[in-house]
A and B are shown apart, each in its own frame.
Chain A
Amino acid sequence: MSDIKYLPGKEPHENEHRLIFKNVDRQGWDTSIDTYLEDGGYEMLKKGLGMDPKAVTEDVKASGLRGRGGAGFPTGIKWGFIPPNNTKPVYLICNCDESEPGTFKDRYIVHQDPHQLIEGMVISAYAVSAHTAYIYIREEFPEAAITLEKAIAEAREKGFLGQNIQDSGFDLEIYVHRGAAAYICGEETGLIESLEGKRPYPRIKPPYFPAAMGLYMAPTIVNNVESLCHVVHILRMGGQEYVKLGTPRNSGTRILCVSGDVKKPGYFEVEVGKVTFRELLYDMCGGPKDGRKFKAVIPGGSSSKILRCNESFKIGRGDDAKDLSFWDLPLDFDTLAAAGSMAGSGGVIVMDDSRRMSWVLNNITHFYAHESCGQCTPCREGSTWMKKVSDRIENGQAVPEDVKTLEEIAYQIDGKTVCAFGEASAWPVEAMIDKFREELVGETSDTNDFKTDERIAQEEFLSKVQ
């Protein structure tokens, strides 16, 4: 790896361990298949197709790879959920609807290294015996859709896709399907509905687990771009070797995307759990902007719970329990879950002391109000309601009870919806109020007498009735 040269100013930090992003910002790199083949590309595809499909799945299981899309569900186990007596065609879908605010890792994979994704998809499709695969790419990546279609055509020409791939007897077609700018399409059952040409209303689980009843009611495996790319590296290293990267139960590398108030925002591929917030934000991102101090961090995309930079957490159980300050928290799935947040999709958004929390909260509630699909009442009504209340708080028109109202609404959405969007919209609000209640209440005033149009209409109506 040492002979790889990166573009000036884009060299990886010494703490990084690049697998997936090996070719991102690399000198002399382009998206053509020749460049990829020169670098030893598609060798793992040949190796994988020579193995038994079950052996590939076992290898992925052994690697302990956890899905990189947000939920962190083990990929190998997901593949194992396809009913053994299945007679329907199996579909593989690559979820490239990267829309979680704060996350921008898949963008670089599909724009700069499409063949890595295709190779990972072929191996994964072989492991789950899928003969049709779709890449669901978000509408805001028009260039990447073209790049991917070109890459697919190139791969087909060289015999890595299509009928009888590399004389293994395995057939696979990959198609690119463009979404249309809806956040909810990142939810796997919503994505499936969208791929079927409908509104992306998520399906209720049970019974609609995609592995059993997915696309066209056939077994379907939906994996994130990054997870599928990891499969290539798992095959190269072997599951047993891959699991040594990172920490136990949090194996491999993952891409952290840092944005917001740091000197050098960007993407960093690190071993899971080997980097703490202090290393990430001070060493790798260059610390806060001049004259500023870090205030709060959203660790895994905007739907994860916000953490204060001056907090400390009790991590672990029983005798292993230890107190860790925020800065010593390693960024892995389990530690962040124990700290009350989640690792999510790896989008770290940093805020310094110049940010008003009411403003941040308002921006986030606007996002979720816009993106709620409208299927479940608590979320559809609640997200709009939260938007209105947070508008008031941000504009200084709120009374202290409004903060309590906002919290109550959030807890009434949480856990009461078909998909995880309910939690995604409620958690940031719950956490923001929990951690910054004083600041939010400080922006309200007892003397405020703001009335919404609805309130005025209601009062008018009631006065007539009485």
Chain B
Amino acid sequence: MRPLKFPLTDFFKVSSKIEVPHPRAIDRKRLEYIRLYAPVKVDVPNARLIERDALRYLFKDHPKPRRNDRELVKRDLPEPSVLEKNVLSPETPGSINFPPFKITPELEKKANQRIAQYPADQSRSAVLPLLHEVQHHFGFISPESIDWVADKLNIAPIKVVEVVTFYPGFRQKAPGKLHFRVCRTLSCAMGGSYELMARLCEITGIDRSGADGQKDPISVSPCGNYSVEYAECLASCGTAPVCLVNDDFHEGLTPDKAKDLIAQYNG
């Protein structure tokens, strides 16, 4: 890390007694200094994003803050973007499975193909296909990828964010290498999909207690290899219970077949 030329003493003083009411209530830059240089650990929900911004601020995109010029520092800080407020994409143990978002020529090519499917003045239609491409390659939808999709289609990022946050098909955090989507709707539930889910969690060591059907449906195993999620009707009620593993469809999965299902992929 490049040594900083200006004194940090005042930041240290604050650090020992700081309480964190809400991440946005704190001067983010100050918080960053604390995170980097103070001997205490500050943990806030979106610290990762704050860290990213602050590092950009410090070393790349912005001029260095002048000494004792607090006002300037405040003014220079960018407003928290709509992405940071809505799409946090917290790290999970599954993050190791996926490369960070990067624009590749291949991705550009596929995106252009998709955009060509719609009338020239209606490129917004390609939001879903583009997000599918991103999710297919990078495992989940990250804030960076939303920026890219918005740029690509020449629309405001909020229009991409509203889509990502609405559809259950788009993941906002990294799943495991094997992502199980177990159907929980009536016919599958009668066939035993709740037990199937319990068995899968037991075998893979996943704790589903924190899962929330709407906001945070995905639970990842500590090893990062597996993740589970309940899906609504997968349209194969006659062969209940059913489950999607990544893109593969499996039917007639009575709970006792859970072990074989996982072994099939690990074999």
Contacts and interface: CB of A to CB of B under 8 A. Distances in A.
Given A260-B187, A349-B186, A363-B186, A177 B234 contact: no
B236 A107 contact: yes
Contacts of B236: 104, 107
Interface stretch (A43-51, A136-144, A452-460): A136-144
B122 interface: yes
Contacts of A195: 125
Interface string A249-265: 00000000111110001
A353 to B, nearest CB: 13
A405 B93 CA distance: 44
Kindly name the residue among A100, A106, A183, A363 whose own CB sees the greatest number of chain B CB atoms within 10 A.
A363
A100 B236 CA distance: 11
Interface string B192-213: 0000000000000000000001
Interface in A324-358: 347, 349, 351, 355
A216 interface: yes
Interface in B210-265: 213-214, 231-240, 244, 247-249
B186 A367 contact: yes
Interface stretch (A33-41, A196-204, A414-422): A196-204
A101 interface: yes
A132 B125 CA distance: 14
B36 interface: no
B128 A101 contact: no
A197 B190 contact: no
Contacts of A200: 166
Contacts of B244: 140
Contacts of A182: 166-169
Interface size class of B (residues with CB under 8 A): 35 or more
B186 A181 contact: no
A91 to B, nearest CB: 10
Contact of B232 (A99, A180, A259): A99
Nearest to A387: B213
B235 A99 contact: yes
B142 to A, nearest CB: 16
B128 A194 contact: yes
Contacts of B214: 370
A428 to B, nearest CB: 10
B20 interface: no
A208 interface: no
B157 to A, nearest CB: 13
B169 A139 contact: yes
B21 to A, nearest CB: 22
A163 B234 CA distance: 36
Interface string A123-140: 000000000100000111
A63 interface: no
B163 interface: yes
A358 to B, nearest CB: 13
Contact of B119 (A100, A103, A181, A216): A216
Contact of A367 (B122, B132, B159, B185): B185
B232 A181 contact: yes
A90 B3 CA distance: 64
A98 to B, nearest CB: 5
12 contacts: A98-B235, A101-B187, A104-B236, A142-B247, A197-B163, A198-B163, A259-B237, A265-B237, A267-B238, A367-B233, A370-B213, A371-B232
Given A140-B234, A266-B238, 13 more contacts: A101-B186, A103-B235, A103-B237, A139-B132, A140-B169, A143-B247, A197-B159, A257-B237, A267-B238, A302-B185, A349-B237, A355-B190, A367-B233
Nearest 7 interchain pairs by C-beta: A180-B169, A180-B167, A181-B169, A259-B237, A197-B127, A197-B124, A259-B187
